[in-house]
A and B are shown apart, each in its own frame.
Chain A
Amino acid sequence: MDVLVYDKTFEGFLSAVFYVYEYKLTDVHICKEAPGTVMFGKTIHIDTDEVKAKRVWDGLTKKLSREGLQSIYHAYLADTLQEEDTMLAYIRHALSSPRNIEKDYSNFAVLRLQRVDRMVHRERHRMKAFIRFKLTKDNIFYDGIEPDFNVIPLIREHFEKRYADQQWIIYDLRRGFGIYYDLKTVQTITITFSEESQGADSVLWMDQNEALYQTLWQQYFKSTNIASRKNMKLHIRHVPKRYWKHLTEKSPM
């Protein structure tokens, strides 16, 4: 089995798909990083080629609806799952079938891709919910997050619409980039954190009223709970522990 290694970009992945068709590979594995050893076959590094990528995408556009195309992109954003082989199987099924296969739930790649799509959707939804802006002295509402998947591209529009009258930054600490809204447009940014700002939510850079509202929010979270109905299992299912460190209400008062 041959292994195709691409450069972690979406165009790179599509270039790898192009390569599969160009050389009529059947037994193939696409991944972001070269595996240590490959038993029977060779490792090929794919050059990202925008023209080839576009040809694959155009081909898919003829076979799939917007939702179908989106689900391939979403599986790509699920960068920690390594679903490239599912994506390839889905693409092959789509291109070889005379009719639209998006709802062909008798096909395992379709079922799996739909599941991955749902996982990405859930993470995106969580980030819409779990962002906790802190007002800085520069009058910018800031939050640093560590999502399971690369969902910032998927939540940008939501925050742009909702927080139209305040400046804000959402920063993916895990992937090292973020988005900044300056009251006009949203731009992609990277931040070099200084030594002092390392204590992530340091009072040094917070607006003087910020701590007040954080305390009020913590108080509200505590008071709105009904102790005689306590159900930690359900609580943790909805708010998994890995998100706690960025949630104001789960920090000590």
Chain B
Amino acid sequence: MLFVVNANYFSFMEKIQAKLAILADAAKYDVSCSSSGSTRKNKDKGLGDTGSGICHTYTEDGRCVSLLKILMSNICIYDCAYCVTRRSNDIKRTSFSVDEVVDLTMNFYRRNYIEGLFLSSGIMKNADYTMERMVLIAKKLRTEQNFNGYIHLKSIPGASPDLMHAAGLYADRLSMNIEMPTNEGLRLLAPDKKREDMIVPIRQITNEITQYQDERKVLRKVPTFVPAGQSTQVIVGATGETDRDIMKVASAFYDKFKMKRVYYSGYVPISNDNRLPALGSQVPLLRENRLYQADWLQRFYGFTTDELLPETIPFFDSEIDPKLGWALRNMSLFPLDINKADKSLLLRVPGIGLHSINKIIEGRKFGQLTWDHLKKMGIAMNRAKHFITCAGLSEPTRDLTEMQIKGLILAGSSGKFLLHQKQLSIF
């Protein structure tokens, strides 16, 4: 910084940097970083173009950084126990001005640091006051700066329908975090928040998206409206709900509100509140991981919550993934012949993913597939071999019991969550 002569410049820089440190830190518990699903094209040689989404870097915790994810302000009138910016928490409070957010977004985007902006905020004064400023930022970026990058706005519970509508015209995605999977949890930890204040705006946006899509079928010049859809987030492990409770809530959001994504955020202890897990307790990373696996199985593999977690089994097995768990409970359906089985059945084989299934289906039109082919396709044979047959010598694992197969698979894996490997030597 040798060339800078103006002392004001230093203080300006320090001020922005201090705000960024606080407001990025406070926004980081929102796990969504998605910047895909929108097809906003560069307009009139302006800045930006939105496509399939790019992770520009990854933090040391291994999470994707695709958007400038910040709070507009961490001043908040609410006192939700699980949240760092809750009113009663003694922390430094600060806010960005509208122009500061616009400037940061433009300059980060120009340097190819980000795909766009993910703006959230504590609730200043009231819902509409806050939402209006957020919408103004999005509006300035789109209309004054001709910015065609991605904008994700996290709506404020209780915002008025007019502001929600305006937000939908400038944003690619809108989200509203339900946070507590059950009503009881919400009442306990977020007494100021009403579930209705969240559900009503979500429902409004769901309906408007459908309306705009229908209009576009008839008229060509209909503006885009939340092209990347809506998402929500639930906190895992803050209160006592089961995996089955969480999956049921998630399914309802996918079905009823046509959500693009439900995010699961393992609760990071941030307070000594006795309603919550104590400071220093483990973040439930494994549980979060199992929920994401199940989420994928429901969205892309045709599984239902009741199949993955029947009433008698409210939690996922920590040792094995949900697909393997289901397969072991349904051994009578296996083994499947790789060269003949239907796609809908192949989708249910542990260790075989969507890409491999497509290769199997294309490949077997040309000839019989052997174990060697399957290995080269990148199938996790350690798991898959117990559930399939194909051309060539079969692996001699027939007639093993469910427990024996589980033991064999665990003994041969080295997953980061495997805790009980030693005990399995009995197999």
A residues within 8 Å of B by Cβ?
101, 103-108, 111, 125, 128-135, 141, 143, 161-166, 183, 203, 208-209, 211-213, 215-217, 219-235, 237-239, 247-249
Contact = CB atoms under 8 A, between A and B. Distances in A.
B17 A219 contact: yes
Contacts of A129: 54-57
Interface in B31-86: 41-42, 45-49, 54-65, 68-69
A141 B62 contact: no
B221 interface: no
B107 A228 contact: no
Nearest to B111: A133
B327 interface: no
B24 A220 contact: yes
B61 A230 contact: yes
Given A108-B376, A131-B112, A217-B113, A223 B42 contact: no
User: Do most interface residues of chain B lie in helix, strand or loop, or is the interface mixed?
Assistant: loop
Contacts of B416: 233
Contact of B283 (A131, A134, A164, A228): A228
B362 to A, nearest CB: 4
Interface stretch (B123-131, B192-200, B201-209, B363-371): B363-371
Contact of B20 (A104, A216, A225, A230): A216
A229 B24 contact: no
Nearest to A114: B359
B377 interface: yes
Contacts of B393: none
A223 B49 contact: no
Nearest to A229: B61
B257 interface: no
Given A105-B366, A211-B1, A220 B68 contact: yes
Contacts of A219: 17, 20-21, 24
B111 A132 contact: yes
B151 to A, nearest CB: 15
B366 A104 contact: yes
Interface size class of B (residues with CB under 8 A): 35 or more
B141 interface: no
B398 interface: no
B419 interface: no
Contacts of A130: 56-57
A189 B108 CA distance: 26
Interface string B351-364: 00000000110111
B384 interface: no
B234 interface: no
A232 B17 CA distance: 26
A30 B359 CA distance: 29
Contacts of B58: 234-235, 238-239
Interface in B329-376: 359-360, 362-369, 373, 376
B131 to A, nearest CB: 23
Nearest to B148: A162
B108 A106 contact: no
A199 B61 CA distance: 31
A7 B1 CA distance: 47
A225 B29 CA distance: 9
Contact of A105 (B25, B62, B285, B363): B363
Given A105-B366, A106-B363, A217-B111, A231 B61 contact: yes
Given A217-B111, A223-B28, A235-B62, A164 B57 contact: no
